[in-house]
Structure 1
Amino acid sequence: MGESETIGVGLLFEEMTEEHLAGVLDIYNYYVLNTTVSFHTEPLTLDEMRQSVLNGDPRFKSYAVMQAGSLAGYVLITRHKNKQAYDTSGEISIYLSPDSGGRGIGGQALMFIEQKAAALRFHALVATVCADNEHSRRLFTRHGYEQSALFRQIGRKFGRWLDIASYQKIIGPADQSNS
């Protein structure tokens, strides 16, 4: 079993395992089918979700967010770009179950993944969200992320054009080497 860590009031962050996959898939597919949070237009399969969150690379981690023994969401850090110069940058994502929003879980998940990323010697973190997603935009801004890009009409879902915004936060020292 992977590592786990308790943070905040009643939140347990467990390293993602096979036993979390079905619940994580349900959370993600809710956003696929009902919102513009995800730019997938078709639900993912269990195998596709497994590839997404259990990639086997020790630097890129996924954590189940547990509250009172139930899956409240998940948070992950993935490769930003697959080129060596980007190895000190990570892309972060947070997905909460639809009934877990508005309780501070997203902010605690963000602080948790930032601590993990700093321990893994990441220098910069990037989060990319649909520009319609005001909750996520406020979350990242409130935690020190700055909007670094806006791509207009980059995706199409539910019969309309969608923009995405990228947010960035430097978490490592300016003189950090990649050795």
Structure 2
Amino acid sequence: MPSERTEVQVRPGVATDLGTLTDIYNHYVRETPITFDTAVFTPEERRPWLLSHPEDGPHRLMVAVDADSQRILGYATSSAFRPKPAYETSVEVTVYLAPGAGGRGVGTLLYSALFDALKGEDIHRAYAGIVQPNEASVRLHERFGFRYLGTYREAGRKFGRYWDVARYEKEL
């Protein structure tokens, strides 16, 4: 099976990635409760999101690319945790993988690159919310030292039902 693996490169996201990144995100909007957005986006509607993740600073966008085909396999971000100034040293992190890209270590590569990029930034804590159930995401976060904080019960309604969100934190 290792011969089937392709090399994956991780790099900062750029403007030309916007269409593919929007497609990946829209998959989760349409097909899963993983995001509580309920309507798909156009790339232009997602442009402010992309622009809020420059190549430096605490809010980053890292993209995983298949080295052979240059196909985007997923992305990870660190974003503002809350809008008030006292929260500036906290970020919320997330990973989204392209359909079919799971189980290849892409999420691990993305988080490794993201946390390496955040070294030296004035960031004290990273937080993550994981819609339940999602064992793969729980394993990924725990692998990176995230600690379970608690669960918001029935925090969001999507697809005609309520979903719990488990909250995790990591000291940086």
* Distance change (3 Å), C-alpha of 1:106 and 1:121: same
Q: Which runs of 4+ in 1 moved over 3 A?
A: none
Aligned length: 163
Q: TM-score, normalised by structure 1?
A: 0.85
Aligned residue in 2 for 1:170: 171
Amino acid at match of 1:94: V
Aligned residue in 1 for 2:72: 71
Displacement of 1:48 after TM fit? 2.4
Aligned residue in 2 for 1:85: 86
The answer to whether the 8 A contact 1:148-1:167 is kept is yes
Aligned residue in 2 for 1:25: 22
The answer to whether the 8 A contact 1:73-1:95 is kept is yes
The answer to whether the 8 A contact 1:96-1:106 is kept is yes
> 1:97-176 residue pairs with structure 2 within 5 A?
97-171=98-172
- Secondary structure in 2 matching 1:128: strand
**Residue deviations 1:73-99, cap 9 Å, x none?**
111110111122111111111111011
Unaligned stretches of 5+ in structure 1?
A: 1-8, 172-179
Aligned residue in 1 for 2:7: 10
Amino acid at match of 2:61: S
Is 2:52 aligned against 1:42? no
Identity of aligned residues (%): 31
Task: Please tell me the root mean square deviation across aligned C-alpha atoms, in Å.
Answer: 1.5
Task: Between 19-28 and 42-51, report the one with greater CA deviation.
Answer: 42-51
Aligned residue in 1 for 2:3: none
Q: What is the CA–CA distance in structure 2 between the aligned matches of 1:148 and 1:47, rounded to whole Å?
A: 35
